[in-house]
Amino acid sequence: MLKNAPTENKYVLDWIEEMAALCSPESIVWIDGSEAQTEQLRAEACATGEMIKLDQEKLPGCYLHRTAVNDVARVEDRTFICTSKKEDAGNINNWMDPEECKQRLTKLYRNSMRDKTMYVIPYSMGIVGSPFAKYGIELTDSIYVVLNMLIMTRVGFDVLSTLGGSPDYIKGLHARAELDEKNRYIVHFPEENTIWSINSGYGGNVLLGKKCFALRIASYLGRKENWMAEHMLILGVEYPNGETKYVCAAFPSACGKTNLAMLIPPEYYSKKGYKVHCVGDDIAWLRVGEDGRLWAVNPENGFFGVAPGTNEKTNPNALHTTLKDTIFTNVVHNTKDNTVWWEGLDKNPPEVAIDWRGNPWDHRKYDKNDKSTCGAHPNSRFTAKATNCPCLSSEFSNPRGVPISAIIFGGRRAKTAPLVYQSTSWQNGAFVGSIMASETTAAATGEVGVVRRDPMAMRPFVGYDMGDYFAHWLNMGKLIPNPPKIFHVNWFRTDDNGSFLWPGFGDNMRVLMWILDRCEGKADARETAIGFIPYATDICIEGLDGVTLDTVEELLEIDRSAWLSDVEGVKAFYKQIGDRVPSELYSELSALEGRLTK
């Protein structure tokens, strides 16, 4: 079946041969990245009903896809790190013995592609040929996966020619199989550069370049090779004098990365000439540059963004990015004009519509307190090209990446975490990242809205032991002569009625400016038990409706008893991680406790 293969790489051909023998596809098709082949695949997916072609005048190049009802988010309980020693995967990850895992999954893959086509997708995370790029090949039986990978990564035969005869690529095997949730597995063999995914057709479970490779496998490689793979957006703030400063921010899934990455400055700033440019919205690969600073590249080529809540006010840049060449997943289909809709897009839900499950949808029955009445799934998404983003940074395709002034951690915390605070050193900043917590969201299956510890927003994405991951952070600090300053933000603090105190979205720029001023030594701060806190008067609220100095004071308040109970939560969490948590972090924790009880 591998006649006329576009490569002679023995490591590639032998592996595909072996996987094809296992899955028994009817044919094998190599994905070349050409528009002609892509168009043919779109047509095929539409012919079988796998995708719906939307109105091509209103939404040129746009399609709708619905996944199975039981398959709408990442499945963390079905995600495994299969290292030969259990302790190398750590206590936070699910672990399976690699051989046992392969045996179990081999049974599931056997003949799973009978009568189907196996697509071979050669792709690059990062600019093909650049020193920071890493290559992968995904085998899949899903055209939807192929079309998404074509948007999210750099696909083409140039990947194969750049790889040459080398074995240095990530092997990914994906089969939809029966979409059986009980036999759904997302497994990683970091010691073998291999990813196996079966019985899912959804996003992070199956677009293997994204969470599986660019975070789980890459974090494992980064530790060995002294770089970092992080769940971070990258953005640049351009000053009126033309200079641009870059920051990275790590927030858990569905906690505001895409929104922050594409923010539109409030008029107060835009009038003065400030601009924000998006380099990435989900993943950053970070390396120490020759100049001693930390440099970031976005290894992706598109955005897999949360649809609900995206609108002309909250995130016009994201909305405009999705107006062409976009695949929508699990949103509402407006069958009258053949367009799409989701909760929070506008106040005009379609009269004649199909919901994300594929059933007729009556918006009059929508009850915002009952998620089952939603037209779009809360984790419905758009897959859109980075190059269609109106605020895409000119540095997006710069293989060197961008130098980072600040790293920002953040989560959803109704209480406890203030609007912003600054750590006191790299070590203290790593500690701040390690004690992060956030209310869970619909991006992963399971309960929504419960606080869980999510260090560096990487809890579901570290491909090895969490304690070793913390140690790697501390070690990287020693390797960066001029490290970024580290901050923590919380856009989600609520008042006693449960309403957000902070307007968020574009107005988050006001907090970013304090952060950048701190990096330049231009803004003052108050030293508190948890770190440096702004003086309320230093957060610019000019032009903000309904936010007073008192609101900002409230947003910056630190409730010592809430923090002390958080400290107890951290102790329990560190204990759960196990004995590889570095002693430096325990010192930071007891110092924090000491300051809080003083």
Binding of residue 314 to ligand GTP (CB under 6 A): yes
**By CB under 6 A, is residue 139 in contact with ligand GTP?**
no
Segment interacting with ligand GTP (CB under 6 A) among 366-374, 420-428, 503-511, 561-569:
503-511
Minimum CB distance to ligand GTP smaller for 16 or for 254? 254
* Interatomic CA distance for residues 232 and 128, integer angstroms: 21
Task: Report the amino acid identity of residue 287.
Answer: R
Q: Which amino acid is at 12?
A: V
Residues 216/256, Cβ–Cβ less than 8 Å: no
Cα–Cα distances (Å) from 490 to 96, 382, 535, in that order, read 36, 25, 16
Residue 448 CB: number of other CB atoms within 10 A?
Answer: 15
Residue closer to ligand SPV (CB basis): 213 or 473: 213
Cβ proximity to ligand GTP, 198 vs 215, nearer residue: 215
Can you tell me the distance from the alpha carbon of 81 to that of 217, in angstroms, rounded to the nearest whole number? Answer: 9
Distance CA 171, CA 159 (A): 14
Instruction: Select from ligand GTP, ligand SPV, Mn ion, none the partner in contact with residue 210, using the beta carbon and a kind-dependent cut-off of 5 to 8 Å.
Output: ligand SPV
Partner touching 251 among ligand SPV, ligand GTP, Mn ion, none, CB below 5 to 8 Å by kind: ligand GTP
Residue 153 interacting partner from ligand GTP, ligand SPV, Mn ion, none (CB closer than 5 to 8 Å by kind): none
Using the minimum distance from each CB to ligand SPV, give the nearer residue, 146 or 592.
Answer: 146
**What distance in Å separates the CA atoms of residue 199 and residue 182, rounded to the nearest whole number?**
9
Minimum CB separation of residue 104 from ligand GTP in Å reads 29
- Cβ-contact 415, 559 below 8 angstroms: yes
> Is residue 211 near ligand SPV by the rule CB under 6 A?
yes
C-alpha to C-alpha distance for 19 and 231, rounded to whole angstroms: 30
Q: What are phi and psi of 455, to 5 degrees?
A: -55, 130
CA distances from 384 to 250, 329, 381, 408 (A): 21, 11, 10, 25
What residues from 244 to 273 belong to the interface with Mn ion (CB under 5 A)?
A: 253
Closest CA to 434 of 411, 463, 405, 403: 411
d(Cα 427, Cα 475) in Å, to the nearest integer? 9
Residues near 83 by beta carbon (within 8 Å), at least 6 away in sequence: 89, 95, 98, 189, 190, 191, 464
Candidates 203, 209, 534, 582; binder of ligand SPV (CB under 6 A) is: 203
* Rg over CA atoms, the chain: 23
Q: Is 141 in the site for Mn ion (CB under 5 A)?
A: no
Candidates 74, 188, 287, 493; binder of ligand SPV (CB under 6 A) is 74
- Rule CB under 6 A: say whether 298 interacts with ligand GTP: no
CB-wise, 186 or 581, nearer to ligand SPV?
186
**Smaller CB distance to ligand GTP: residue 228 or 307?**
307
Q: Site for Mn ion (CB under 5 A): which residue of 282, 355, 439, 465?
A: 282
Note whether 71 binds Mn ion by CB under 5 A.
no
- Judged by CB under 6 A, does residue 254 bind ligand GTP? yes
Active site (catalytic) residues: 255
- Cα–Cα distance for residue pair 496/478, rounded to 1 Å: 43
Distances (CA, A) of 92 to 69, 88, 436, 482, 575: 28, 11, 15, 32, 11
Closer residue to ligand SPV (CB): 28 or 233: 233
Would you give the distance in Å from CA 123 to the centre of its chain? 18
Query: Which residue has the closest beta carbon to ligand SPV?
Result: 204
Which of ligand GTP, Mn ion, ligand SPV, none has residue 204 at its interface (CB below 5 to 8 Å by kind)? ligand SPV
122 vs 378 by CB, closer to Mn ion = 378
# binding residues, Mn ion (CB under 5 A): 2
Residue reference for tokens 């609220």:
541
Residue 209 interacting with ligand GTP (CB under 6 A): no
Total number of residues binding ligand SPV (CB under 6 A)?
9
Contact between residue 376 and residue 405 where contact means Cβ atoms under 8 Å apart: no
Phi first, then psi, for residue 22 (nearest 5°) are: -75, -45
CB of 137 to ligand GTP, least distance (A): 25
- Check if the beta carbon of residue 168 is closer than 8 Å to that of residue 230: no
Binders of ligand SPV among residues 283 to 312 (CB under 6 A) are 304
**What minimum distance in Å lies between the beta carbon of 435 and Mn ion?**
20
Among 147, 255, 435, 437, binds ligand GTP (CB under 6 A): 255
Q: How many residues bind ligand GTP (CB under 6 A)?
A: 22
Tell me the backbone φ, ψ of residue 518, rounded to 5 degrees: -65, -40
Q: Binding of ligand SPV at residue 144 (CB under 6 A)?
A: no
Q: Which residues bind ligand SPV (CB under 6 A)?
A: 74, 203-204, 210-211, 253, 282, 304, 443
Q: Which residues bind Mn ion (CB under 5 A)?
A: 253, 282
